[in-house]
Amino acid sequence: MNLKSILGIALVMSLTFSCKNESKTDKNSTAVAVEAEKDVKAFDYTVEQFADVKILRYQIPGWENLTLKEQKLVYYLTQAGLAGRDIMWDQNYRHNLKIRKALENVYSNYAGDTSSEDWKAFETYLKRVWFSNGIHHHYSNDKLKAEFSQDYLKSLLTATNTQLEGEAFDVIFNSQDSKKINQAKGADNVAKSAVNFYGPNVTTADVVQFYKNKKSPNPDKPLSFGLNSKLVKENGELKELVYKSGGLYGSAIDEIVKWLELAQGVAENQEQGDALGLLIQYYKTGDLQTWDDYNVAWTAATAGNVDYINGFIEVYNDPIGYRGSYESIVQINDFDMSQKMKVLSDNAQWFEDNSPLMDEHKKKNVVGVTYKVVNVAGEAGDASPSTPIGVNLPNANWIRAAVGSKSVSLGNIIEAYNNAGSAGRLQEFVNDEEELQLEQEYGQVASKLHTALHEVVGHASGQLNPGVGETKETLKNYASTLEEGRADLVGLYYLYNPKLQELGLVDDWKKVGMAAYNSYIRNGLMTQLIRLNLGDNVEQAHMRNRQWVSAWVFDKGKKDNVIEKVTRDGKTYYNINDYEKLHDLFGQLLRETQRIKSEGDYKAVEALVETYGVKVDQPLHKEILERNAQFPDAPYSGFVNPVLVPDMDDNGEITSIKVTQPESFPSQMLEYSKTHSFLKGEN
């Protein structure tokens, strides 16, 4: 599970951390740490801003402390990740690669007037397409609107001798394929979604029936059917096109394998090398049993300074949660922070035992939960340019139960968000000075702890009842939002708990919890609406979970005025009057969400999400957008990647690798298309 969810990622990073643009230092910081902080402050995190997006850059702390062998491992893994970049574009929409190639050719070769409003609109559109890995918004899933005419684009194509015809041209301007992911109640979610996981004539009923007939060799270790394939209908028969060497996306996968084999040759230890070998075998065969074997080996391989995520992993882009999007994140351990947060992993069983879950839904033995703070060295696919801030993998419930999981917080990504925000928006939406001061003093630690609790304790918590199928089968299109909300609730329940202070994680558990609750309710009921166009309902799974969690506790607490809706000078605020009762409400909802998951109760999850998580209070939404209009900060942020540049000797051996920053967002996107394009326009 990835954390494009916790407290609203980019938007909430600007809300939560904007009041202090410098990170706090420990009272016992050494002179070296002080100098390091000075370097952080001197670094320019902002690249550019356009439309609703701000592009940032990040550093790779500790790079110079790695051995050359470790640096080679990082370099090979980042190259493997970038080799699959085009896969994500094609998965997002069938015409994306063709459209991108044409738009980039225009951008690189047009010799006409680049000062006109039409050209500026074209340039902004291309940048938005780059950011979203396609023509649909990376978060709302709505098709991006071109603010230039068909005739203007035709003139650009003609002037640059560029081909873009038929449906691939028309779809930029018409209403076809308007939603990448359509999860509306009552709709055929597969047929109405533009995402390229299914053939044009495949329906939701087709998918459900196809996989209903699939049986795992070991029912206690169910295979992740559908994760690594596209489902199409040929001559009326359903057929999987498997992602593998010689199969769908084979040319890109072969390039991934080439770099993974180089990485295996410089693995830090036997366990890491064995896991890489299984990943290579999986890419060559597309075998789902090998994928599970790899995940078991990867989860157990915890030693070393370098780790990675690579594969078809998260299922958020599939409207019914079967198929994995390609992603890659390469990580270097932050040993100091990881040691501080290891305490959560060591106490995972205490959190499980003391949770408000029904006894039969609690795990008797929480195993193998590892939590580390890492520094990102490179990202690709579904993790770039828009990135998570935390990840917990693997996703298979049986592996989590039997072997455990790895949870990571992306420290340098969070650091970049912290240092690139602005203060005004937070001050606009807090209810009073007390709420503002709590956020300023405790907001950062509250958010970091929520990330950690969500990943380490939340996703590892609870168990399915015997005989209940995987959530993608039982909860269907609501599975992702239920799981993310459930993990959020675990974090919220324990954020207001003296155990955190007992463990030495906070200095004042009550104030940290109050800051966390203020921020979550403020975001869930108000500020995340900045991300939507007026009139829209909530579609994205993480936005839905923040709304249904917040709206449920607001509704259930009305009798005791737990959360008060305040109107002052024509503006709406939410004020928490009773944190103890809100803590209890979070516990009640956590108990119910776990019951829904454990029992596979589809009717209950449908009622919960549709009642509280989908509909938007339109007058409030209008007000929020008007209040937000005064702030120049974009609601979404993403990143360019640092560039790893190897120096070679006369024999072609790498002698050193230096870290540089790209000149600009367009320059990196064009360079990636030049050096890491391994798929045709249609696949």
Using one digit for the tens of pLDDT, what is the confidence trace for 460-476? Answer: 899 999 999 989 899 99
Strand partners, 237: 234
Phi, psi of 433 (to 5 degrees): -65, -35
CA atoms within 13 Å, Cβ hemisphere of 98: 16
Residues 6+ apart with CB under 8 A from 372: 307, 333, 334, 338, 341, 342, 406, 407, 408, 409
Residue 17: pLDDT band with limits 50, 70, 90: very low
Which stretches within 354-498 are classed as H helix?
397-402, 411-418, 424-429, 433-452, 471-474, 479-495
Within 8 A by CB and 6+ apart from 174, the residues are: none
Residue 124: count of CB within 10 angstroms of its CB: 17
Segment 580-605 mean pLDDT: 98
Quick check: 34 pLDDT over 80?
no
More confident residue, 22 or 67: 67
Q: Angle 454-456-460 (CA atoms, 0-180°, nearest 5)? A: 95
Report d(CA 299, CA 393) in Å as an integer. 8
Amino acid occupying residue 541: A
**For residue range 299-308, what is the model confidence (pLDDT) as tens digits?**
999 999 999 9
First-residue to last-residue Cα distance in the chain = 27
Beta strands 306-312 and 46-50 are: unpaired
Give the CA angle between residues 475, 550, 350 to the nearest 5°.
75
Query: How much is the average pLDDT of 242-269?
Result: 98
Cα–Cα distance, 576 to 245 (Å, whole number): 55
pLDDT single digits (tens) 503-514 = 999 999 999 999
> What's the pLDDT score for residue 337?
75
**Where, residue-wise, is CATH 3.30.540.30 in the chain?**
45-85+248-638
Is a pLDDT exceeding 90 seen at residue 13?
no
| Segment 271-284, tens digit of pLDDT | 999 999 999 999 99
Does the 45-85+248-638 domain belong in CATH 3.30.540.30? yes
Instruction: Share the mean pLDDT of the chain.
Output: 92
Strand boundaries in 586-665, DSSP class E: 636-639, 643-648, 654-660
How far is residue 573's CA from residue 566's CA, in Å, rounded to a whole number? 5
Please state the rounded mean pLDDT for residues 95-101. Answer: 98
Task: Please check the confidence at residue 30 and state whether its pLDDT lies above 80.
Answer: no
pLDDT band at 8 (very low <50, low <70, confident <90, very high): very low
Quickly count helices (H) and strands (E) in the chain. 27, 14
**Token representation of residue 413:** 């990504």
pLDDT at 11 over 90: no
- Rounded to an integer, the average pLDDT of 331-349 is 86
Separation between Cα atoms, residue 417 and residue 404, nearest integer Å: 30
d(CA 489, CA 494): 9
pLDDT band at 3 (very low <50, low <70, confident <90, very high): low
Residue 397 gets the label, from left (phi > 0), alpha (psi -120 to 50) or beta, of: alpha
Is the pLDDT at 334 greater than 80? The verdict is yes
Q: Indicate the residue type of 355.
A: S
- Give the pLDDT of residue 421: 66
Tens digit of each residue's pLDDT (9 = 90 or more) over 102-150: 999 999 999 999 999 999 999 999 999 999 999 999 999 999 999 999 9
On the 0-12 / 13-18 / 19+ scale of CB atoms within 10 A, 483 is: buried
Give pLDDT tens digits for 554-567.
Answer: 999 999 999 999 99
| Angle value at C-alpha 474, between 605 and 461, nearest 5 degrees | 75
Confidence of residue 370 (pLDDT cuts 50, 70, 90): confident
**d(C-alpha 29, C-alpha 149), whole Å:** 57
pLDDT range class, residue 335, cuts 50, 70, 90: confident
Cα-based torsion angle of the residue sequence 513, 515, 521, 522 in order, rounded to the nearest 10 degrees: 180
Per-residue pLDDT at 423: 67
125 vs 389, residue with greater confidence: 125
* Long-range contact pairs involving 348-356 (C-beta distance under 8 Å, separation at least 24): 348/456, 348/457, 348/460, 350/499, 351/453, 351/457, 351/461, 351/490, 351/494, 351/499, 352/457, 352/460, 352/461, 354/499, 355/461, 355/490, 355/493, 355/590, 356/493, 356/587, 356/588, 356/590, 356/591
**Who's near 200: CB < 8 A, 6+ residues apart?**
none
Tell me, what's the pLDDT at 81? 98
Helix (H, G, I), strand (E, B) or coil at 383: coil
- State percent of the chain over pLDDT 70: 94
